[in-house]
Structure 1
Amino acid sequence: MNETIKPLNPIAFSLGPIEVHWYGIIIGSGLALALYLAIREANRRGLPKDTFADLMLWAIPIAIISARIYYVIFEWDYYSAHPADIPKIWNGGIAIHGALIGSVITTLVFARKRGISFWKIVDIAAPSLILGQAIGRWGNFMNQEAHGGEVTRSFLESLHLPEFIINQMYIHGTYYHPTFLYESVWDFAGFLLLIFLRRANFRRGELFLSYVIWYSIGRFFVEGLRTDSLMLGSLRMAQTISIALIVAALAIIIYRRTKHHTEARYLDQTN
Structure 2
Amino acid sequence: MHPVLFKIGNITLYTYGLFVALGFMTALWVANRRAEYRGIEPELISDLFFLILASSLIGARFFYVILNFSEFSHDFLEVFKIWNGGLVFYGGFLFAMVSALVFVRRRSINLWATADVLAPPIAIGHAIGRIGCLFAGCCYGKVCHLPWAIEFHNIDSLAPREVPLHPTQIYSILSNLIIFIILILMERKTTHPNRGFKGRIFWSYIFLYGMARSAIETFRGDFRGNFFMDILSVSQAIGIAMALFAAFMLFFLSRQARHAGN
**Partner residue of 1:89 out of 74, 82, 86:** 82
Structure 1: 5+ residue stretches without partners: 1-7, 160-164, 265-271
Q: Does structure 1 residue 208 correspond to structure 2 residue 187?
A: no
Task: Name the SS of the counterpart of 2:39 in structure 1.
Answer: coil
Shift of residue 259 of structure 1? 3.9
Tell me which residue corresponds to 2:95.
102
> Does structure 2 retain, via aligned residues, the 8 Å contact 1:123–1:205?
yes
Distance in 2 between residues matched to 1:257 and 1:9, nearest whole Å = 46
Kindly provide the CA deviation profile for residues 71-125 of structure 1, in whole angstroms up to 9, marking residues without a partner as x.
1111123323431210111121100001111111111111111111111111101
**Partner residue of 1:219 out of 213, 217, 232:** 213
> Does structure 1 retain, via aligned residues, the 8 Å contact 2:60–2:92?
yes
Q: Does structure 1 residue 184 correspond to structure 2 residue 170?
A: no
Shift of residue 9 of structure 1? 2.8
> Does structure 2 retain, via aligned residues, the 8 Å contact 1:14–1:20?
yes
Tell me which residue corresponds to 1:228.
222
Structure 2: 5+ residue stretches without partners: 154-158
**Partner residue of 1:75 out of 68, 75, 79:** 68
Q: Does structure 1 residue 60 correspond to structure 2 residue 67?
A: no
Kindly provide the CA deviation profile for residues 153-190 of structure 1, in whole angstroms up to 9, marking residues without a partner as x.
xx23xx4xxxxx84548942211010111111111011
Tell me which residue corresponds to 2:36.
43
**Partner residue of 1:23 out of 16, 19, 31:** 16
Tell me which residue corresponds to 2:238.
241
> Does structure 2 retain, via aligned residues, the 8 Å contact 1:74–1:232?
no
Classify 1:49/1:183 alpha carbon distance in 2 versus 1 (closer, same or farther; 3 Å): closer
Q: Does structure 1 residue 128 correspond to structure 2 residue 125?
A: no
Tell me which residue corresponds to 2:255.
258
Task: Name the SS of the counterpart of 1:70 in structure 2.
Answer: helix
Task: Name the SS of the counterpart of 1:174 in structure 2.
Answer: coil
Tell me which residue corresponds to 2:162.
173
Distance in 2 between residues matched to 1:148 and 1:252, nearest whole Å = 32
Task: Name the SS of the counterpart of 2:63 in structure 1.
Answer: helix
Task: Name the SS of the counterpart of 1:173 in structure 2.
Answer: coil
Classify 1:261/1:110 alpha carbon distance in 2 versus 1 (closer, same or farther; 3 Å): farther
Over the matched positions of the two proteins, sequence identity in percent amounts to 29
**Partner residue of 2:132 out of 125, 130, 139:** 139
Task: Name the SS of the counterpart of 1:220 in structure 2.
Answer: helix
Kindly provide the CA deviation profile for residues 194-242 of structure 1, in whole angstroms up to 9, marking residues without a partner as x.
1111123331001000000111111111001101143145341110001
Tell me which residue corresponds to 1:193.
182
Amino acid at match of 2:218: G
Amino acid at match of 2:234: M
Task: Name the SS of the counterpart of 1:14 in structure 2.
Answer: strand
Tell me which residue corresponds to 1:114.
107
Tell me which residue corresponds to 1:5.
none
